[in-house]
Structure formats: structure tokens, C-alpha cells
């Protein structure tokens, strides 16, 4: 198996084909968009955060490659139910996985470790991190 | 100076393996597989003649040009002038003085935008219009916008051909310039430049031609084409990055003001007033890419010594082979099917995003480009956000076409 095959894990292909939470929220409390002008990938993320700072709903829209779609899809499934602080922690962990290709806490990342193979391809890392950057931006306290 | 003198190949007996042997990078591995380089439209690989010429220059002839009276500077200056003469000759220009060295096609167009457009007489408070086409590279759109011009595109058909009836009408509406690509980098369409020049000149409209994709793949004669400006990049014509050519009719170069100020472009400098060197020096401020020009000289010498006819036929047969082979793949849609077309094959594949296709092909050692290829308006016109592009060169083989097809079968298995 080549390293490129490792990037396209079956769970990634499956999420690309049937993305979860691929919709818009009626009245999201948080919203952000991300785009990669070099490849044309676009993603927009809606979040519903309750008074306790817990993400009660999250959805995404956009067009892009399998890596960015699957990443956005899996991201929405893991973020639901998390607090915004936990979401930001998860962003840091996922970002570190993408930058280094390894993680000290595979359990904390759960199914997101499927993206480990992407780290070997610096040109594609931005595809996987694009939706996460959008969420991070959406949750950033506004000045 | 380079010791390499390429021997012309026997016509009709094109020996691709012999040609490939001159490109050491083609014998390397990529991701553990034999490299299949199908991205020459983005940048070409370099023959040893070019690599050696640059090395030889730095080893034996390096000094600044037009600065010293010593022998090294004399040799360096002579190499620079020889490169200019070669470039002029290569594109059928009458006078080396009509060749301005720039960083590449992009800088050439920016130079014309800043310098030529500022001289175009225009009614008060009306921005000049530059007629472009829907298939232009961003480098032939954005520079015009940067200097305040309005870009109006000549429409392109679904097949990727220019609408010449619309062109005729739009040329009659008084644009300041027609700026058009010779060969589309995204679709491979070969535009009828000589015809467009005749049409434009009948309306008194000067013509700039983006020749970045044409010079590497077909003999170009600016005099026969009848254009006013022609530009190309060194790195796409088997030469180094960082050097390119703007050719312009002498009358334009004489009238145009300098683009940048600095050393080498001056005549007399005082704190009150400065006068400029005559063209082309007027447009070449600062120490230029001398080694780049030496490399470009070697590249044009190398290409000029090849049997261009045999190379052309080889590229056409690669184009036809790839077109036929890829068209037979279920779910594959060819993008750009002009009647006159270079060996550039753009396509989409059902259920697979171009970037994923390119990544999976990369795993097989195959280099293709995925994205909008710096032609967002064209992709918008065709209703696509991106495409995959395989572009061919004389050093590509029919086995590589088959490797591409096999790679795409694998992509279909992953995304099927």
C-alpha cells in the first residue's frame, strides 16, 4: 500500500460520499467561513452554542476535495456536545497531529486519527485543517 | 559557455528515449515509482545543456553586466547580449533591440500595462478598455485591472474556442488593446493569432500575445503573426525560472516610458532630472538575471537544434492517444475540445474531486495539475470549480499516457 492510499482511509471516503450535518442552521449563534483560494475549496460552518458554552448543534456547507469534506463531516460529529473550550482543545490536538503526523493521545482524538496519513502530504494538510480553522475562527471571542 | 551542441534528429524517426536521456530528472523516482511528469504547462523540465550552461557561467564568466571594463564583465555582458540576440532570432524578431528581458510572462504583461496603457489617449474620466478573452490566465487579466483598465472578455464556446464574430464586434467598440493568449494553458486551445491581429489592426487596435504556452511547443514568428507585443517565460521553454521575454515593436518601445527606475536604465541622472537609456535598456532597471538569460540562451539553442517538425508530430500523437484513452474512461469528461489544440488534456471525473485525483496519481509517481490553473473566469464560464490537467512535452512517451490511464482506473476504484 502506498502512502497515498493511507491518506484515503475508507472512513474518509465514506464521509466524503455521505457527509454528516451537511446543512445550514436556521439561527446559528456562531458562523464562520473558510476558503483556500489556491484550490478553490470553500467551507462554511454554523454552530449553536448554549448559555453554558456547550455546542448543541453544528453543521457545514461547501465544496471541496474528499479530504476537506470528510474532515468537515467528521468534525461536526465530534464537536456536538462538546464545550467551546473542549472544541478549541480538540482543534489544537488535531492541528498538532496534522503538523507532526503523530499524537501522544490517540484516544483523545478518537476517529480523527484517520487523518494521520494526510500529515505526510504537506500540500494536503490545509484541506484537512480548513474546516477546523473555520470553527476556531467562529468560536474566537469577538473584540 | 555551454559546450553542448545538440544534434538534429533524423526527421520522421523521433527518438524519444534519446531526448529523455538529456533530462536527468526524468530518470528519477517519485513516491518510489518512475517519475511521470505531465505538468510541463506549469513548468518544463530542463535538459543538461541548460543546467550545464548556468553552472559554466557561474564557474567561469560571472560578473555584473555593463559595469566593468575588466574581462569578466566583458564576457558576462557579451553573454547577456548574445542571449538577447538568440531570443529575438528565435521568435522571428527583426531587431534584438526589440527584446526586453523580464522575469517572465507575468512581468512582461505588467510592464506593458503600466508603461503602454499610460500612453493611450483617452477621453476624460474614462478608464481604457482592454479586450481579453474568457480563457485568459489571471496574469493577462489582473495587470490590466491594476492600472485601472476595464477588462472585457471575448466569449469562449463550450468547446473552448473563441467567438470570432463577437471579437470582431468588440474590436469595433474602441478598446485600447487586445490581450490574448496564443495557447490556452487550461484547455490547450490554439488561438488564430494572425487572424485576430488582422481584425484588430483593421480597427486600429494593437495586440499583445501571451505566448507562454506557445513558444515551447510550436515555431513562433512575431513578424508573420503581426502582433505588437509578444511575451514568454524561460522556465516553460526548457530554460530556468526568473527570466522571460517581452518583445515589442520598436515604435512602441520608443514611445513607452520606463517601468521601473534604477541602475542600467538611465542616460544622465541629476537631482533635478533624469534622462533614460534607449530601449530595451530603459526597461531593464537593476542587475538582471544574467545567469537566467544564459540558461534561456542555452534552452533556445537546444530547442532550435531539435527537429521541430518531428517534435510537433510526437506531441500531436501523444495528444491524440491521451484524448482517445481518457475519453473511454467511464465518468470522465474532457474539458476543452477545440479543433486546433495543443497537447494539454483537461478533464473531470465523476465522484472524484480534482485534488484527490491528483493526489492518488501522485502516489503512482504521476505529476498532474489540479485546480483552476489560474483561470478562474474560464472555469466559472464552463460551470466548473476545478479540473485536472495533464500537459505533455516532447520528452513524454506513449507508455506515460498508459500510466496515466491506469492511474485513473485506480482513482475510480477508490471513488467508484
Q: Are residues B236 and B184 in the same domain?
A: yes
Nearest residue on chain A to B410, judged by CA atoms? A5
Could you tell me the residue range of the domain that residue B407 belongs to?
Answer: 16-47+307-415
Q: Are residues B327 and B263 in the same domain?
A: no
Q: Domains in chain B: how many in total?
A: 2
pLDDT score, position A36: 85
Q: Are residues B403 and B388 in the same domain?
A: yes
CA distance A63 to A73: 12
Q: Please indicate whether residue B374 is annotated as part of the active site.
A: yes
* Minimum distance, in Å, between the CA of residue A90 and any CA atom of chain B: 26
Domain assignment present for B10: no
CA atoms within 13 A on the CB side of B412: 14
- DSSP of B369-408: EEE-TT-HHHHHHTT-S-EEEEE--TT--HHHHHHHHHHH
Final residue belonging to a domain, choices B286, B304, B322: B304
Domain assignment present for B21: yes
Q: Which residues of B124-159 are buried (b: 16+ CB within 10 A; e: fewer)?
A: eeeebbbbbbbbbbbbbbbbbeebebebebbebeee
Domain assignment present for B208: yes
* Minimum distance, in Å, between the CA of residue A86 and any CA atom of chain B: 31
- Among A37, A38, A40, the strongest candidate for a mutation testing the B interface, having the largest count of B CBs within 10 A, is A40
Contact between B356 and A66 using a beta-carbon 8 Å cutoff: yes
Minimal Cβ distance to B386: which of A5, A17, A39 = A39
Specify the DSSP element, H or E, that contains B37. Answer: strand B36-37
- Among A1, A3, A8, the strongest candidate for a mutation testing the B interface, having the largest count of B CBs within 10 A, is A8
Q: Are residues B270 and B314 in the same domain?
A: no
- The C-alpha cell at B48 is 543538461
Contact between A40 and B359 using a beta-carbon 8 Å cutoff: no
Domain assignment present for B375: yes
Taking contacts as CB-CB distances below 8 angstroms, the residues of chain A near B356 are: 8, 65-67
CATH classification code of A3-139: 3.90.1010.10
The answer on pLDDT for A22 being more than 80 is yes
CB atoms within 10 A of CB A47: 25
- Among B142, B353, B361, B387, the strongest candidate for a mutation testing the A interface, having the largest count of A CBs within 10 A, is B353
The answer on pLDDT for A142 being more than 90 is no
Rg (CA), chain A: 14
CA distance B179 to A99: 43
Q: Are residues B296 and B319 in the same domain?
A: no
Q: Are residues B112 and B235 in the same domain?
A: yes
Nearest residue on chain B to A127, judged by CA atoms? B355
In sequence order, what are the residues at sequence separation of 6 or more whose Cβ sits closer than 8 angstroms to the Cβ of residue A37? none
CATH code where residue B383 lies: 3.90.1150.10
Q: What percent of chain A has pLDDT over 90?
A: 79
CA distance B89 to B240: 19
Q: Are residues B269 and B337 in the same domain?
A: no
Minimal Cβ distance to A38: which of B351, B360, B371 = B371
Q: What's the complex ipTM?
A: 0.91
Contact between A8 and B386 using a beta-carbon 8 Å cutoff: no
Q: Are residues B192 and B315 in the same domain?
A: no
Q: For B161-215, what is each residue's pLDDT tens digit?
A: 999 999 999 999 999 999 999 999 999 999 999 999 999 999 999 999 999 999 9
- The C-alpha cell at B286 is 537593476
Q: Tell me A112's DSSP state.
A: G
Query: pLDDT per position in chain B (416 positions), as tens?
Result: 444 444 444 445 699 999 999 999 999 999 999 999 999 999 999 999 999 999 999 999 999 998 889 999 999 999 999 999 999 999 999 899 999 999 999 999 999 999 999 877 766 667 899 999 999 999 999 999 999 999 999 999 999 999 999 999 999 999 999 999 999 999 999 999 999 999 999 999 999 999 999 999 999 999 999 999 999 999 999 999 999 999 999 999 999 999 999 988 999 999 999 999 999 999 999 999 999 999 999 999 999 999 999 999 999 999 999 999 999 999 999 999 999 999 999 999 999 999 999 999 999 999 999 999 999 999 999 999 999 999 999 999 999 999 999 999 999 999 98
A27 φ/ψ sector (left φ>0, alpha ψ -120 to 50, else beta):
beta
Predicted TM-score (pTM) of this structure: 0.94
Taking contacts as CB-CB distances below 8 angstroms, the residues of chain B near A121 are: 359
* Minimum distance, in Å, between the CA of residue B389 and any CA atom of chain A: 13
Q: Are residues B105 and B119 in the same domain?
A: yes
In sequence order, what are the residues at sequence separation of 6 or more whose Cβ sits closer than 8 angstroms to the Cβ of residue B57? B1, B76, B79, B290, B291, B294, B295
Final residue belonging to a domain, choices B304, B324, B354: B304
Contact between A2 and B31 using a beta-carbon 8 Å cutoff: yes
pLDDT score, position B123: 65
Neighbouring-strand partners of residue B387: B371
- The C-alpha cell at B339 is 479543433
Q: Are residues B34 and B151 in the same domain?
A: no
pLDDT score, position B111: 98
Contact between B370 and A67 using a beta-carbon 8 Å cutoff: no
Minimal Cβ distance to A40: which of B352, B359, B385 = B385
Domain assignment present for B5: no
A63 cis-preceded (ω within 30 degrees of 0): no
CB atoms within 10 A of CB B347: 22
Q: Are residues B290 and B311 in the same domain?
A: no
Contact between B371 and A13 using a beta-carbon 8 Å cutoff: no
Contact between A2 and B356 using a beta-carbon 8 Å cutoff: no
- Among B31, B358, B363, the strongest candidate for a mutation testing the A interface, having the largest count of A CBs within 10 A, is B363
- The C-alpha cell at A116 is 494521520
Taking contacts as CB-CB distances below 8 angstroms, the residues of chain A near B353 are: 64-66
Taking contacts as CB-CB distances below 8 angstroms, the residues of chain A near B385 are: 40, 63
CA distance B387 to B186: 9
Segment of A27-31, A119-123, B2-6 carrying the highest mean pLDDT: A27-31
The answer on pLDDT for A72 being more than 60 is yes
CA atoms within 13 A on the CB side of B111: 33
- Among the listed residues B197, B227, B231, B374, the single catalytic one is B374
Contact between B371 and A66 using a beta-carbon 8 Å cutoff: no
Taking contacts as CB-CB distances below 8 angstroms, the residues of chain A near B414 are: 8, 13
Q: Are residues B232 and B96 in the same domain?
A: yes
Count of pairs with CB atoms under 8 A, one residue in A, one in B: 49
Taking contacts as CB-CB distances below 8 angstroms, the residues of chain B near A10 are: none
Final residue belonging to a domain, choices B270, B304, B338: B304
pLDDT score, position B88: 98
Amino acid at each position: 500500500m502506498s502512502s497515498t492510499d493511507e491518506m484515503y482511509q475508507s472512513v474518509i471516503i465514506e464521509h466524503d460520499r455521505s457527509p454528516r450535518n451537511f446543512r445550514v442552521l436556521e439561527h446559528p449563534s456562531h458562523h464562520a467561513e473558510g476558503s483556500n483560494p489556491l484550490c478553490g475549496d470553500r467551507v462554511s460552518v454554523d454552530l449553536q452554542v448554549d448559555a453554558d458554552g456547550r455546542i448543541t448543534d453544528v453543521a457545514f456547507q461547501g465544496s471541496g476535495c474528499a479530504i476537506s469534506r470528510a474532515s468537515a463531516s467528521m468534525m461536526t460529529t465530534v464537536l456536538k456536545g462538546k464545550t467551546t473550550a473542549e472544541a478549541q482543545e480538540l482543534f489544537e490536538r488535531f492541528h498538532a497531529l496534522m503538523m507532526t503526523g503523530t499524537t501522544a493521545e490517540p484516544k483523545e482524538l478518537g476517529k480523527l486519527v484517520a487523518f494521520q496519513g494526510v500529515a505526510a502530504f504537506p500540500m494536503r494538510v490545509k484541506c484537512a485543517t480548513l474546516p477546523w480553522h473555520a470553527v476556531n475562527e467562529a468560536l474566537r471571542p469577538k473584540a | 559557455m555551454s559546450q553542448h551542441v545538440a544534434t538534429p534528429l533524423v526527421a520522421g524517426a523521433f527518438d524519444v528515449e534519446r531526448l529523455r536521456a538529456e533530462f536527468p530528472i526524468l530518470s528519477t523516482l517519485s513516491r518510489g515509482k518512475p517519475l511521470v511528469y505531465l505538468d510541463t504547462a506549469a513548468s518544463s523540465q530542463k535538459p543538461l545543456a541548460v543546467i550545464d550552461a548556468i553552472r559554466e557561467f557561474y564557474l567561469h564568466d560571472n560578473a555584473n553586466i555593463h559595469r566593468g571594463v575588466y574581462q569578466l564583465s566583458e564576457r558576462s555582458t557579451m553573454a547577456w547580449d548574445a542571449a538577447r540576440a538568440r531570443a529575438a532570432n528565435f521568435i522571428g524578431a527583426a531587431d534584438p533591440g526589440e527584446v526586453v528581458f523580464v522575469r517572465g510572462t507575468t512581468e512582461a504583461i505588467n510592464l506593458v500595462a503600466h508603461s503602454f496603457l499610460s500612453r493611450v489617449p483617452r477621453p476624460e474620466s474614462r478608464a481604457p478598455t482592454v479586450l481579453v478573452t474568457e480563457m485568459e490566465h489571471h496574469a493577462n487579466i489582473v495587470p490590466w485591472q491594476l492600472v485601472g483598465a476595464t477588462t472585457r472578455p471575448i466569449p469562449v464556446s463550450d468547446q473552448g474556442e473563441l467567438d470570432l464574430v463577437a471579437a470582431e464586434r468588440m474590436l469595433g467598440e474602441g478598446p485600447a488593446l487586445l490581450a490574448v493568449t496564443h495557447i490556452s494553458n487550461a484547455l490547450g486551445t490554439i488561438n488564430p493569432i494572425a487572424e485576430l491581429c488582422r481584425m484588430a489592426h483593421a480597427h486600429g487596435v494593437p495586440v499583445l500575445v501571451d505566448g507562454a504556452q506557445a513558444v515551447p511547443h510550436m515555431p513562433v514568428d512575431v513578424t508573420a503573426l503581426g502582433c505588437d507585443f509578444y511575451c514568454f517565460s524561460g522556465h516553460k521553454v526548457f530554460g530556468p525560472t526568473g527570466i522571460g521575454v517581452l518583445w515589442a515593436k520598436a515604435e512602441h518601445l520608443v514611445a513607452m516610458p520606463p517601468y521601473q527606475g534604477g541602475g542600467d536604465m538611465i542616460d544622465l541622472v541629476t537631482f533635478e532630472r533624469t534622462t533614460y537609456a534607449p530601449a530595451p535598456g530603459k526597461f531593464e532597471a537593476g542587475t538582471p538575471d544574467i545567469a537566467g538569460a544564459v540558461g534561456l540562451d542555452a534552452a533556445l539553442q537546444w530547442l532550435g537544434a531539435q527537429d521541430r517538425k518531428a517534435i510537433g508530430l510526437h506531441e500531436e500523437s501523444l495528444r491524440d492517444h491521451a484524448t482517445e484513452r481518457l475519453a473511454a474512461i467511464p465518468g470522465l469528461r474532457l474539458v476543452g475540445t477545440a479543433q486546433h489544440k495543443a497537447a494539454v488534456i483537461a478533464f473531470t471525473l465523476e465522484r472524484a474531486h480534482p485534488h484527490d485525483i491528483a493526489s492518488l496519481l501522485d502516489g503512482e509517481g504521476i505529476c498532474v495539475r489540479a485546480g483552476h490553473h489560474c483561470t478562474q473566469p474560464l472555469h466559472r464560464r464552463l460551470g466548473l470549480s476545478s479540473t485536472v490537467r495533464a500537459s505533455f512535452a516532447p520528452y513524454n512517451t506513449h507508455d506515460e499516457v498508459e500510466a496515466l490511464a491506469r492511474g485513473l482506473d485506480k482513482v475510480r476504484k477508490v471513488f467508484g
